[in-house]
Homo-oligomer: A and B are copies of this chain.
Amino acid sequence: MSETEALRDRAAGLDKADELGALRERFVLDEVVYLDGNSLGALPASVPGRVADVVGREWGRLRIRSWTESGWWTAPERIGDRIAPLVGAAAGQIVVGDSTSVNVFKAVVGAVRLSGGPQAGRDEILVDASTFPTDGYIAESAARMTGCTLRPLAPADMPGAAGPRTAAALVNHVDYRTGRLHDLPGITAAVRDAGGLAVWDLCHSAGALPVGLDAHGVDLAVGCTYKYLNGGPGSPAYLYVAERHQGAFDSPLPGWNSHAEPFGMRAGYAPVDGARRGRVGTPDILSMLALEEALTVWDGVSVEAVRAKSLALTDFFLECVAAHVPAGLVASVTPAVHAERGSQVALRCDRADEVMDELITRGVVGDFRAPDVLRFGFTPLYVGFAEVERAARVLGEVVRG
């Protein structure tokens, strides 16, 4: 038996034993090996019917009545409660709406204010130096508008750096490029012990691994819903404000949806209690209700089982890459240690942009991240082991040229 045959046999056995394997039927998929669910999750099969109903009946027939009769008005907090168990949060702390960038702004400004801010001598915002760029840009704006200074650091250095000047720390749970999983419990505790607040960006972890927001005492968090949560292109992001902070949470975007009496049309602003305080303007209902339907694929699924499969998928991919790709042509920048790995594998490679184009042409879809990274995301709900073997094999063919 050749090495390739042996790997294929192993893949078949792993697929057969996969307790999550049947979930693939909940998605619209085809012969393409789709390893880009960490950029845009695949379409859940029940979403088209639900969206057609929202458009045709709720908007088309009920029109304005749907704000109450179809539950549109309460969608942001209702869907937040649906996301909550996936990130280890009790109900009432997450609200859905706006983009991740806008939520980073709310969360970082909110964190600075909760910390006391410059008036209390807290005038530094620590930010993950390798962050997804938008987080850094928005944190810089938040710093400028609150009288703080931005201090970029490796997340591992944050516990040592946090001190009396720390207002907030903005950190990605999983690095978008390398796939490194950062130490959420440790960094959160260190920032809290220093008197600041930690804001976590969960874009690359929610839906792929247990987050444990409540268990680890996270202060604030944001995340998108179009990656491992499969909400659709540009589906609304979410904001988590821990219950203990909600009463003092002071949003920089106090839109009418966060008013205690939104239809009172009062000239003075009075914020509502609870997670709704993170709402701003009228929610984009089509995108939001598509997301709500997409979340039904999680019915009966445990995040722990997803994590176990995720690690098995990335382990197997690394093994197949070692077998199929000649030594030296690619190098993994994703940590080998499970405790430091998200649900993706990033491989450094010459001409990575051209290699990815060719992979896509041959039916293996990942993405390229400048300057030299091939990024492969593994969504445990719909990626199988035979696909993983095939992806590595095609990669070997492509890089051999």
Contact = CB atoms under 8 A, between A and B. Distances in A.
Interface of A: 28, 30, 34, 36, 39-40, 42-43, 47-48, 51-52, 55-56, 58-61, 63-67, 72, 98-102, 105, 129, 132-134, 136-138, 140-141, 145-146, 152, 177, 224, 226, 232-237, 251-257, 259, 263-267, 269, 280-288, 290, 360, 365, 367, 369-370
Contacts of A251: 141
Contacts of A269: 133, 136-137, 140
B36 A63 contact: yes
26 contacts: A28-B61, A40-B64, A42-B60, A43-B55, A51-B55, A59-B233, A72-B234, A100-B282, A101-B255, A101-B256, A101-B280, A132-B256, A133-B265, A134-B281, A137-B254, A141-B252, A141-B253, A141-B254, A152-B267, A233-B285, A234-B284, A234-B285, A234-B286, A234-B288, A235-B286, A263-B370
A259 B133 contact: yes
B281 A100 contact: yes
A72 B370 contact: no
Given A234-B282, A287-B284, A287-B286, A255 B365 contact: no
A63 B51 contact: no
Number of copies: 2
Contacts of A280: 99, 101-102
Given A98-B98, A133-B267, A365-B63, A224 B105 contact: no
A34 to B, nearest CB: 7
A233 B370 CA distance: 37
Listed residue (A252, A284, A369) with the most chain B CB atoms within 10 angstroms of its CB = A284
A151 to B, nearest CB: 13
Contacts of A281: 98-102, 134, 237
Given A99-B281, A137-B254, A237-B281, 13 more contacts: A34-B63, A43-B59, A43-B60, A98-B98, A132-B256, A132-B265, A133-B259, A141-B254, A233-B285, A234-B284, A235-B284, A264-B370, A265-B370
